[in-house]
Amino acid sequence: MTPETPIRWRRKDLLGIAELSPAEIELILDTAESFSEIGERAIKKVPTLRGKTVLNLFFEASTRTRSSFEIAEKRLSADNINFSTSGSSLEKGETLVDTALNLQAMAPDLVIIRHAHPGVPHMLAKRIKAGVINAGDGAHEHPTQALLDAFTIRRHKGRLAGLKVAILGDIEHSRVVRSNIHLLNKMGAKVTIGGPRTLMPVEMEAMGVEVAYTLEDAIRDADVIMMLRVQLERQGRMAFPSVKEYFQLFGLTTARLAAARDDVIIMHPGPMNRGTEIASEVADGPYSVILEQVTHGVSVRMAILYLLSGVHEETV
Amino acid sequence: MAKNLTPKTTILDAKQMARIIRRMAGEIAERHHGNLGSVLLAGIRTRGVPLAEKIAAEIERMEGAKLPVGILDITLYRDDLSTVGPQPQVKGTHLPRSIDDCAVILCDDVLYTGRTVRAALDELIDFGRPRIVQLAVLIDRGHRELPIQADFVGKKVPTSQSEIIEVSFLSTDSTEQVRILERPTAK
């Protein structure tokens, strides 16, 4: 009776953006749009996932992503349990597969996992019946971050197709950039990445992006600028002489913004280092949508939890 | 029209629908005489929404009072989400004002098992504490599975469970009528 049959979500897991179709991405974003209203209610809770159990497995530090997932789970009335690295049985010598099988024995409905090694969520997804959501695996993918970024862009620009998006900073260590490139390419945006050569992997052009080695080249006529944190803790060696020099060359300041479009928006996945990749005047300035990203993160994660929890073995 | 359904009869045409909705609007205006300012119409997605809008338009024409119309998407409150397979699309709830101390009139096209109305009541209560909640439906087809009844009924239509009532509105379906369709019988 409806003019077009709406697309239905049929994946058990959300492991990366690379395997999603544009229609699936749009379904998540549209669903998230409907969920954002719940965050504005006096009673911020719906009974949708009552009786479902969600495990939050964070083998790597996380504040934002983990609390965002927790809030999303609670707003949907799911029961959640948190595991973190310290004190987990992995530290006591258990293999990841054994951990997975033990978790499976507790019959969770969904497992959220972050791990320092790429591919761990994929391995887990193959071994357990529960749906698996990748909350960041090494420098590979961070799909929910890319989706909340896309949601934020769509809110401001009304579309993704045809936009020029500049992503700047520590490209080498960023899973956010990989997920974002996949997503923005699929949705028809034009991506330029920029950063110091020492933090720019060689294969990047093959992902279908333009590569720039100065901030000015990267942000020219940009509709959207995404700043990435310099992940000093992941660098075996310093990739640049000093934080001060990095800021001088690649730090985003109000003066430098002039090269971008007048209605540019500035994003950052957090946590940001003021004075390293971004100046406070920009982070707190009128173009910044950094805190909106955090708000939208909850809606997007609610949408993903909702869609994945409808997939049962018989429908896969 | 959904697949494998054979149309049986047209029970209301556009003119008859308009007449019935006009009568329902009159009943609502009469019941809430003097208090229309605190009445809110809440249409249940999908076809409760055009019904609510039409009732609001009729009340405005008769009484000059423009009642606010809200939209309830009850998907997140359904009791069959874990059994229906892929999740139905969520299109969102929008209530134009606080419902505290209001008279909320839920509007839906067809009243059948009562489960949709149960879900709508649960959702509504999450938004506040209305003074009173009433139910207006265009068609009451019987077969209730919960103790729920409508306050304003357009037309009672006795049906069998193998039949489907199809309500069409211009705004959602590009035609305006109510038909009975028959599900294919199991061979």
pLDDT digits (tens, 9 = 90+) for B74-83: 999 998 887 7
In-domain check, residue B1: no
- The shortest C-alpha distance from A72 to chain B (Å) reads 14
pLDDT band at A266 (very low <50, low <70, confident <90, very high): very high
pLDDT in tens, B107-142: 999 999 999 999 999 999 999 999 999 999 999 999
Best B89, B168, B176 residue to mutate vs chain A (most A CBs within 10 Å): B89
pLDDT band at A94 (very low <50, low <70, confident <90, very high): confident
In total, the C-beta contacts within 8 angstroms joining chain A to chain B are: 62
pLDDT band at A314 (very low <50, low <70, confident <90, very high): very low
d(CA A143, CA A14): 8
ipTM of the complex: 0.84
Residue of higher predicted confidence among A150 and A102:
A150
Q: Is the peptide bond before A31 cis (omega within 30 degrees of 0)?
A: no
In chain A, whose CA is at the least distance from the CA of B83? A310
Q: Which chain B residues are within 8 Å of A8, Cβ to Cβ?
A: 85-87
Question: Count H helices, E strands: chain A?
Answer: 10, 9
The pLDDT assigned to A12 comes to 95
pLDDT in tens, B38-73: 999 999 999 999 999 999 999 999 999 999 999 999
The pLDDT assigned to A93 comes to 76
For residue A213, pLDDT over 60 is answered with yes
Average pLDDT, chain A: 92
What is the distance, to the nearest Å, from the Cα of residue B55 to the centroid of all Cα atoms in its chain?
11
The pLDDT assigned to B82 comes to 76
- The DSSP element (H or E) to which A226 belongs, if any, is strand A224-227
The pLDDT assigned to B124 comes to 96
**What number is the average pLDDT over the span A2-14?**
78
d(CA A186, CA A24): 11
Residue B33 maps to which CATH number?
3.40.50.2020
Q: Which chain B residues are within 8 Å of A37, Cβ to Cβ?
A: 92-94
**What number is the average pLDDT over the span A283-308?**
97
In-domain check, residue B63: yes
The pLDDT assigned to B87 comes to 87
CB count in 10 Å sphere of residue A312: 16
What is the distance, to the nearest Å, from the Cα of residue A313 to the centroid of all Cα atoms in its chain?
27
Q: Which chain A residues are within 8 Å of B73, Cβ to Cβ?
A: 34
The pLDDT assigned to A117 comes to 92
The pLDDT assigned to A313 comes to 55
Q: Which chain B residues are within 8 Å of A41, Cβ to Cβ?
A: 126-127
For residue B3, pLDDT over 70 is answered with no
pLDDT band at B184 (very low <50, low <70, confident <90, very high): confident
For residue A234, pLDDT over 80 is answered with no
- Does residue A14 sit in helix, strand or coil? strand
**What number is the average pLDDT over the span B97-110?**
97
Q: Which chain A residues are within 8 Å of B126, Cβ to Cβ?
A: 41, 43, 45-46
Question: How many domains does chain B fold into?
Answer: 1
Average pLDDT, chain B: 94
The pLDDT assigned to A189 comes to 98
Residue type, A191: V
For residue A120, pLDDT over 90 is answered with yes
In-domain check, residue B168: no
In-domain check, residue B29: yes
Mark yes or no for CB contact A41/B126 under 8 Å: yes
Domain residues for the domain of B48 are 16-81+88-160
Mark yes or no for CB contact A45/B127 under 8 Å: no
The pLDDT assigned to A315 comes to 43
d(CA B54, CA B64): 14
The pLDDT assigned to B7 comes to 92
Mark yes or no for CB contact A1/B166 under 8 Å: yes
d(CA A293, CA A270): 10
The pLDDT assigned to A316 comes to 41
The pLDDT assigned to A282 comes to 97
In-domain check, residue B102: yes
> Going along chain A, which residue ranges are E strands?
53-58, 79-84, 110-115, 131-137, 164-168, 190-194, 210-212, 224-227, 265-267
- Torsion, CA B10, CA B15, CA B21, CA B27, rounded to 10: -120
In-domain check, residue B119: yes
CB count in 10 Å sphere of residue A161: 11
For residue A86, pLDDT over 70 is answered with no
- The DSSP element (H or E) to which B30 belongs, if any, is helix B14-31
Percent of chain A with pLDDT over 70: 93
pLDDT band at B4 (very low <50, low <70, confident <90, very high): confident
In-domain check, residue B152: yes
The pLDDT assigned to A238 comes to 77
In-domain check, residue B179: no
Reading the block at residue A100, the tokens are 């997975």
pLDDT in tens, A159-201: 999 999 999 999 999 999 999 999 999 999 999 999 999 999 9
For residue A221, pLDDT over 90 is answered with yes
